[in-house]
Amino acid sequence: MAAASDAAQLKAAREDIRELLNTTHCHPILVRLGWHDSGTYDKNINDWPERGGANGSLRFDVELKHGANAGLVNALKLMQPIKDKYPSITYADLFQLASATAIEEAGGPKIPMKYGRVDVTGPEQCPPEGKLPDAGPSAPADHLRLVFYRMGLDDKEIVALSGAHTLGRSRPERSGWGKPETKYTKNGPGAPGGQSWTAEWLKFDNSYFKEIKEKRDQDLLVLPTDAALFEDPAFKVYAEKYAADEEAFFKDYAEAHAKLSSLGAKFDPAE
C-alpha cells in the first residue's frame, strides 16, 4: 500500500514552496496555516479525526470561516496550485511542509519533520470552533495554558512557540489587534500595513523576546498573551533565557514546532 504522501513529490514541492517564499514573502501566513491545522488537537479525545490536529481539515470553508482563521483563505490559495501539481501529497503534509520550510527559509532552525499524515475526507470532519488561542483573553497566561495543555504541550513549548511571532504582522481588519500600519510595515514586502512584533518581521530570530522585554518601541506590537510571557513566573524563566540565548531558543523551538506539526495526525505508514 502506498504511503499517504510520495517522498519524491514532497521534495519537489519543498523547492516550489521555497520559490513561492522568495517571490511573495508569504512566510508568516504559511507558518500560521500549518499551526492552525494542527492546533485544534485535543489530547483527551482518542479517535481520529474527532481529536483534531494536523489532518488537512483547514482546507474546508467551514473551518476557514472560524474567527481565528481570518485571512487564511489567502494561504490556501497559495498552496492549491502546488497541491494540484503534486497530487500524491496530502493537504495535511503540505500545510506542515510549508510551515516548516517558511521557518527555515526565514533564517530559523532546521525542523526535524516527518511526513505521511492522512487527510480527512470531508467538511463534516472539521473540528468545532474555539480550539485555537485568543490574543486578548481576561487571564492571558491561564488561557495559553488551557489551550496548549489541551494539546499536550507544556510551559517551555508555549514560550518557545510564541517566539514564532518574530515573523509576521497582526492586521486589525482580520484579528482586531494592532495598528493599521507602522514605519516597519507601510512599504511591505507583500501587501503593506499591519503591525509587526519585530522590526525585521520576515527574519526568524530571538528579537521577539528582546522586544517584549524592553517594550521600547511603540510601533511594535505586544499582545496581552505576549506580555504574559514575562509576567507569569514560570513562563518568564524561558522568555528570559530565549531573550539572552538565541541558540537555546532555536533548539527548543525546532523541537516544539516538530511536535506541534504532528499533533493528532494519523500517519501512513504508522512509523
φ, ψ for residue 133 (rounded to 5)?
A: -65, 150
Can you read off the three cell numbers belonging to residue 255?
523541537
Closest CA to 225 of 160, 269, 168, 162: 162
pLDDT digits (tens, 9 = 90+) for 17-65: 999 999 999 999 999 999 999 999 999 999 999 999 999 999 999 999 9
- 48-65 b/e (C-beta count within 10 Å ≥ 16 → b): ebebbbbbbbbbbeebbe
Closest CA to 125 of 161, 92, 167, 76: 92
Residues 6+ apart with CB under 8 A from 49: 55, 57, 120, 125, 264, 266
Closest CA to 162 of 253, 48, 43, 260: 253
Whether 149 shows a pLDDT value over 50: the answer reads yes
What number of other Cβ atoms are within 10 A of residue 225's Cβ? Answer: 20
Closest CA to 72 of 86, 83, 60: 60
Q: In which residue ranges of the chain is CATH 1.10.520.10 found?
A: 1-132+257-267
Cα–Cα distance measured from residue 207 to residue 213, given in angstroms and rounded to the nearest whole number = 10
pLDDT digits (tens, 9 = 90+) for 183-210: 999 998 988 999 999 999 999 999 999 9
What number of other Cβ atoms are within 10 A of residue 22's Cβ? Answer: 10
Q: Is 27 a catalytic residue?
A: no
φ, ψ for residue 196 (rounded to 5)?
A: -95, 160
Rg of the chain in Å (alpha carbons): 18
> Domain 140-256 has what CATH class?
mainly alpha
The confidence score (pLDDT) of residue 19 equals: 98
pLDDT more than 90, % of the chain: 94
Whether 271 shows a pLDDT value over 80: the answer reads no
Q: Which of 27, 36, 165, 257 is catalytic?
A: 36
Three-state DSSP at 211 gives helix
Cα–Cα distance measured from residue 159 to residue 154, given in angstroms and rounded to the nearest whole number = 9
Cα–Cα distance measured from residue 73 to residue 211, given in angstroms and rounded to the nearest whole number = 30
The confidence score (pLDDT) of residue 2 equals: 54
DSSP letter at 147? H
pLDDT digits (tens, 9 = 90+) for 94-138: 999 999 999 999 999 999 999 999 999 999 999 999 999 988 889
Whether 1 shows a pLDDT value over 70: the answer reads no
Q: In which residue ranges of the chain is CATH 1.10.420.10 found?
A: 140-256
Cα–Cα distance measured from residue 115 to residue 261, given in angstroms and rounded to the nearest whole number = 10
> Domain 1-132+257-267 has what CATH class?
mainly alpha
Q: Are strands 169-170 and 195-196 parallel, antiparallel or unpaired?
A: antiparallel
pTM here is: 0.96
The confidence score (pLDDT) of residue 73 equals: 97
What number of other Cβ atoms are within 10 A of residue 41's Cβ? Answer: 24
3-state helix, strand and coil shares in percent for the chain, rounded to the nearest 5: 55, 0, 45
